[in-house]
A and B are shown apart, each in its own frame.
Chain A
Amino acid sequence: MSEHVLQVEGLSKRYGAVEAVEGAGFTAGRGRITVFLGENGAGKTTTLKCILGFLRPDAGRIVIRARRLGYVPEHPVFFTWLTGRDILSLTGRVYGIREADLSGHVSAAAAKLGFDEGILTRRVQTYSHGNQKKFSYLQNLIFTPDLLIVDEPFSALDPVSIKRVRDIFLELKGQGRTAFLSSHLISEAEKIADDVVIIKKGRICFRAKLAAFRENHVLPDPSLEAIFLHFAR
């Protein structure tokens, strides 16, 4: 079995005259947390959406070797007519979780996230932004994805929830699962990142295993912020 759960080769995507992503290539290893960094408009979200099949790449190849693919968008939007409980029930059924087991899965995941199960009877669109984000994590955690793709993992979350979400990524990693995180919050990402991919103006300008890169002493300051500022600007 390949060690690369996600493999992107020569990915290009153009919007009219604008080349949003140009020949991007990188991988995400099994049981690792890969952080995807870039300035605003660098092509992070376009890349993510190509990986998820929401956008059609103009060129390139995307291989996902995960049976269960999870996704937490930056601003989650759910089917407006469904309550939180409905969505979890539907997700559980799709992933073969028995109704009897579902509440256990939900409670366990809700406890990890600090999510109030009492609001699950309401339609998700009535939740606060923070709770919508947590609910999106909750939806993913009940079926424990092999590859979890997250766009801005810490946005809309309070500091306590950020810590909880970080712990969840580390737990998934401990289970041999893969997380691919596109983030602006370098300080938070640094605490959990194994691998880093940096995109600049649609091109991948840096990709490395963080520990190995630091050992080579390429930069005097080995912080992720310094790496980002050096390569992305």
Chain B
Amino acid sequence: MKAAKSLYGLAAAFLAVLAYAGMKDTPAAALKFFLFLFPYVFLLLSQDMVRGEVDSGSLENVIFLRQDFRRYLLGKNAVIALLGGLISFALFGILVLASARSRRFDLHDFAELGAGLVAGLYYTGLGGFLSYFLKAGSNVLVIFLGQAAVAVSFLLSAGLNTGFLQNLSSGFFPDFPSRLKFIGFVALLPNTVVSRKFLPWTVEVAGLSLVFFWLQFRMAARLELKKQ
């Protein structure tokens, strides 16, 4: 229940940020905010996907759904992806309509939405995978903490990372190490690919998503309900 309350709180905060950006600036600015932030909807929905149900014993109830509990857990990914997608499409539609007066319709918005959806799927895969190990909302929290740590480390070592920061701002990665570094960066902050200059990197995020879904498949296949 605590997890559900924090989820509602974060959803309310997300909507408040969009509303604030829309009113303080323009609906187009709110749309930009939305496109960067909406993959988090998927991440928040993925909190406590597995461990809580396994440890509480309630997963045994899945037998009354005439399902194998392993398939049920994997099916949760599809439900979260669908739910996250529906919420995202609805908010996107509202914001596109709201910003129609102040700006011209831009097809790139759809490309960014697509990239964001891929980032959302990545969060579902990663969040689900982490929830095999971490209870309650800590699978989500650990990702937020990782992102915060990267942001702080960049702030504290901006002088040392000038090359990478320049690459980030230009969107061009000249050599293999810088590309590898960027893939690591995107793995921690997949929302990056929503930015137009990084759209081609969506393929990498899609690949990483598949890796985490495969890992979940492996975890589910080995999972046992030991606790009573």
Contact = CB atoms under 8 A, between A and B. Distances in A.
Interface in A113-160: 139
Given A81-B4, A94-B65, A139-B64, A54 B225 contact: yes
Given A94-B65, A139-B64, A79 B225 contact: no
B65 to A, nearest CB: 5
A145 to B, nearest CB: 10
Interface residues of A, number: 23
B58 A94 contact: no
A77 B224 contact: no
Interface string A153-173: 000000000000000000000
Nearest to A74: B228
> B interface, by DSSP: helix, strand, loop or mixed?
helix
Contacts, number: 52
A136 to B, nearest CB: 10
A83 interface: no
Contacts of B58: 77-80
A95 B65 CA distance: 8
B73 to A, nearest CB: 13
A56 B63 contact: no
A91 B64 contact: yes
Interface string B211-226: 0000000000010111
Interface of A: 45, 49, 52-56, 69, 71, 73-75, 77-81, 87, 90-91, 94-95, 139
Given A81-B4, A87-B64, A94-B66, 15 more contacts: A45-B228, A52-B60, A53-B69, A54-B69, A54-B224, A54-B225, A73-B57, A77-B56, A77-B57, A77-B61, A78-B58, A79-B58, A80-B58, A94-B65, A139-B64
Interface of B: 1, 4, 53, 56-58, 60-61, 63-66, 68-69, 222, 224-226, 228
4 closest pairs, A vs B, by CB?
A: A77-B57, A54-B225, A77-B58, A55-B224
